[in-house]
Amino acid sequence: METTLRGVGVSHGVAIGEVRHMGTAVLEPPARQITADEAEREQGRARQAVSAVAADLIARGQLAGGEAQHVLEAQAMIAEDPELMADVDRRIAVGSTAERGVYDAFAAYRDLLAGAGEYMAGRVADLDDVRNRIVARLLGVPMPGVPDSDEPYVLIARDLAPADTALLDPALVLGFVTEEGGPTSHSAILARALGVPAIVALPGAGEIAEGTVIAVDGSTGDLFVEPTAEKKAELAAAAAERKAALAASSGPGATSDGHKVPLLANVGGPADVPAAVEAGAEGVGLFRTEFLFLDDSKKAPSEEKQIESYRKVLEAFPEGRVVVRVLDAGADKPLDFLTPADEPNPALGVRGLRSLLDHPDVLRTQLTALAKAAEGLPVYLEVMAPMVADRIDAKAFADACREAGLKAKFGAMVEIPSAALRARSILQEVEFLSLGTNDLAQYAFAADRQVGAVSRLQDPWQPALLDLIAMSADAARAEGKSCGVCGEAASDPLLACVLTGLGVTSLSMGAASIPYVRATLAKYTLAQCERAAAAARASDSAEEARVAAQAVLSGE
């Protein structure tokens, strides 16, 4: 009998197939005591296992490329963290086996993260995955991960680690469903990059029996258990209609009456550029430069290395717009040379622009590298600061850009509610705003983006979030300046229409979402988008806002 479950749709498309469950996690190793003579050997085993897992994660990243590579390289850094390894050595020295020492050291670090505020707690899933891989290697058992199957299937898991998501084979994994996670979790972002239909934050999905046929609609978040033939046909027809619309859509982003809405790509480095170009991106709306810095947490990359990386991205968009976000370190992206190690709540501490202003040499080097990378190129370079709280922050950043001789537009990200509330004041110092809706929602609702239990509050359709976006867009319009969106909200085609109606002047997203957004925008006039935006803001919940906007655009 057909039943319907609903989670959070995070990656467009429809998948119909049999359920396969993720491999079980590694069991807790036994607490066996070793002798003093065995300690050195066990420490060697632990180090070898850690090195092997780190190398495997890096190799997986190189195979996957793009944003997945950056995420997996960050995981490899977790595996080889010196403090963690020192703790492992200490535990082995007092009698633990290698596997038990690793397990207990990671457990202690896990407790620290879980108690360091919800933002840091979001890294726990990544930490658990690294621990499981090391312990599995030490125990000589298969790695936890994606099941082996010769036939295509829909994967169900409690959560998916980046190492698993990055190497999903779309030819076999038709789609996936997780019980935890949120719309801006690593798995959701990588699913969109892969173009695999996905639903997250669906409690109870793990109880669906192996082999059961399900249908996953990654656009709506609906999961149909044992769908009828009629439902399968309905979903297939909807998928075919979307595919046809995508094929017919090309060129710059615009509404049906010609109102231009540039569609830009979010990239983490040169490896992400080919997909952006193929999708028809009109430029880059968010170049996340922190991934270049995560290659070595001990020191910043040289000016020469930065110039090389930046220039590759700038060259890909001749006469296009490339918006670069300077280093956004801290919180879930700590760097030893930049971020404090003892902050009680890093998400509310020294991160983003705050870190850079405390280390002006790092900011100066990056701005100088950007200036040199753009020399002689016809690209329209724009540089923005993360985590701007007020006009004082905006002025400090603009002054630093001028001192570095940067010939570019200077902008500020709106990720803190105070920046939206005082957007017009901030615009006295900078030339554009860019809304990071992921962090803006996180701070507006006190809801961590990695925690499935609060995913309702991370929904970008929340009317309060739409209010903050509207305030920012109104301020930019009043000042004759631009206000774009570079958060994951822009990847939702229906919400993209609402954002356009709110006055947002450009939309930036993962490359895979650009064709969907382009095709949907082209179906409606600016006036329709404005009416849909008004209806969404007049609602009292995210679901009501979505339904109200859809009703307006459908002419109901």
**pLDDT per residue as tens digits for the range 417-429:** 999 999 999 999 9
147-161, 325-339, 526-540: range with lowest mean pLDDT: 325-339
Catalytic residues: 186, 486
Most confident of 150-154, 282-286, 486-490, 516-520: 282-286
Model confidence band, residue 344 (pLDDT cutoffs 50, 70, 90): confident
Using CB atoms within 10 Å of the CB of residue 521, give its burial: 0 to 12 exposed, 13 to 18 middle, 19+ buried.
Answer: buried
Mean pLDDT of 491-516: 94
pLDDT at res. 359: 93
Listed ranges 18-32, 216-230, 235-249, 322-336; the one with the highest mean pLDDT: 216-230
- What's the confidence (pLDDT) of residue 340? 73
Question: Which contiguous run of DSSP H or E holds residue 14?
Answer: strand 14-21
pTM here is 0.70
Contact 529, 473 (CB under 8 A): no
The answer to which of 23-27, 89-93, 184-188, 419-423 has the lowest mean pLDDT is 23-27
Question: How far are the Cα atoms of 178, 273, 386, 545 from residue 328, in angstroms, in the given order?
Answer: 28, 20, 6, 31
Give residues with Cβ within 8 angstroms of 105, minimum separation 6. 84, 87, 88, 91
**pLDDT score at 240:** 83
CA-based R_g, the chain, Å: 24
Query: Which of these, 94, 85, 104, lies nearest to 45 by C-alpha position?
Result: 85
Q: Concatenated DSSP letters for 483-533?
A: EEE-SGGGG-HHHHHHHHHHT--EEEE-GGGHHHHHHHHTTS-HHHHHHHH
321 SS3 class? strand
Which amino acid, 197? Answer: P
Q: How confident is the model at residue 118 (pLDDT cuts 50, 70, 90)?
A: very low
pLDDT score for 350 = 87
Summarised one tens digit per residue, pLDDT across range 431-448 is 999 999 989 999 999 987
Q: What are phi and psi of 341, to 5 degrees?
A: -90, -10
Residue % of the chain over a pLDDT of 90: 56
Instruction: Please check the confidence at residue 63 and state whether its pLDDT lies above 80.
Output: no
Q: Which of 224-233, 243-252, 262-271, 386-395 has the lowest mean pLDDT?
A: 243-252
Nearest to 254, CA basis, from 500, 80, 556: 500
Q: Which of 131-140, 226-235, 302-311 has the lowest mean pLDDT?
A: 131-140
Answer whether residue 114 shows pLDDT above 70: no
SS3 assignment, position 10: strand
Q: Find the mean pLDDT for residues 191-201.
A: 84
* Residue 534: pLDDT over 90: yes
- Cα 551 from Cα 539, distance rounded (Å): 13
pLDDT tens per residue across span 381-422 = 999 999 999 999 999 999 999 999 999 999 999 999 999 999
Please report the pLDDT score of residue 451 as a whole number. 66
Question: Is 169's pLDDT higher than 90?
Answer: no
Tally of CB atoms within 10 A around 400:
22
Q: CA nearest 430: which of 381, 464, 396?
A: 396
- Predicted pLDDT at 331: 62
Residue 489 has pLDDT above 80, yes or no: yes
Pick from 238-247, 316-325, 464-473, 509-518: least confident: 238-247
pLDDT(374) > 50: yes
Asked whether 71 and 162 are in contact (CB, 8 A), the reply is: yes
| Contact predicate 283/260, CB 8 Å | no
Could you read off the pLDDT of 449-483 as tens digits, one per residue? 666 677 788 889 999 999 999 999 999 999 999 99
The model's pLDDT over 1-12, given as tens digits with 9 standing for 90+, comes to 678 999 988 888
DSSP per-residue codes, 208-273: SPTT-EEEEETTTTEEEES--HHHHHHHHHHHHHHHHHHHH--SS-B-TT--B--EEEEESSGGGH
Comparing CA positions, the residue from 321, 290, 347, 218 lying closest to residue 67 is 290
Asked if pLDDT for residue 204 goes beyond 80, the answer is yes
Give per-residue pLDDT as tens, 18-29: 999 887 665 688
Distance CA 499, CA 503 (A): 7
- Mean pLDDT over residues 125-134, rounded? 81
Q: What angle do CA 174, 224, 457 make, to 5 degrees?
A: 90
Percent of all residues in the chain with a pLDDT value above 70, rounded to a whole number: 91
Question: pLDDT for 259-288, tens place per residue?
Answer: 999 999 999 888 889 989 988 999 999 999
What is the per-residue pLDDT for 98? Answer: 93
> Mean pLDDT score of the chain, rounded to an integer?
88
| pLDDT at position 97 | 94
Name the pLDDT band for 186 (thresholds 50, 70, 90): low
Average pLDDT over residues 313-322: 93
pLDDT at 71 over 80: no
Min mean pLDDT across 170-179, 234-243, 332-341 is at: 332-341
